[in-house]
Amino acid sequence: MITGVLGPILFGIDASLPFLLFGGIVALWALIIWYALNKQARTISKGLGGENVNKRGPFSAFAPAAATPWSTLESRYYVANKEHLDQKLSGGNKNEVDIAYLEQSVRKLNAALKAETYKRKNIEAKMDVLMLKLK
């Protein structure tokens, strides 16, 4: 959307300006994505005992993914390092709980219990009225 709005304005300043600006943004974004994927590929390769960890080159970390799908490598890495990854992702404390979530759950259960109690008392009252009519 920004390209559609700013493109004509930038084109009015200089014909190559929109291409340079937005092309530069795309190139920068591609480098950021490549860096993140390369870092993850090296981590996975190292975690699975891969031989390509110490090799240099822009694509050497992706060599194992040529023979095995990336998702399979990710799954194997997770299974091999499950405890460490879970501990890392949980902030280091496995026993940490979300108190606010637990309080909300207790409030919901308490409200449901009160509603069911009211329904039960209502049904009991109706049954008492029916029993009096039958006598």
- The pLDDT tens digits for 44-99 are 887 777 665 566 777 777 777 777 888 888 888 888 888 888 777 776 555 556 77
Q: How much is the pTM?
A: 0.53
Cα-trace Rg, the chain: 31
Q: Which residues contact 99 (CB under 8 A, 6 or more apart)?
A: none
| Strand (E) or helix (H) holding 46 | helix 17-47
Average pLDDT of the residues in 9-38 = 92
Quote the tokens at residue 89. Answer: 């992702």
Return the DSSP state at 82: H
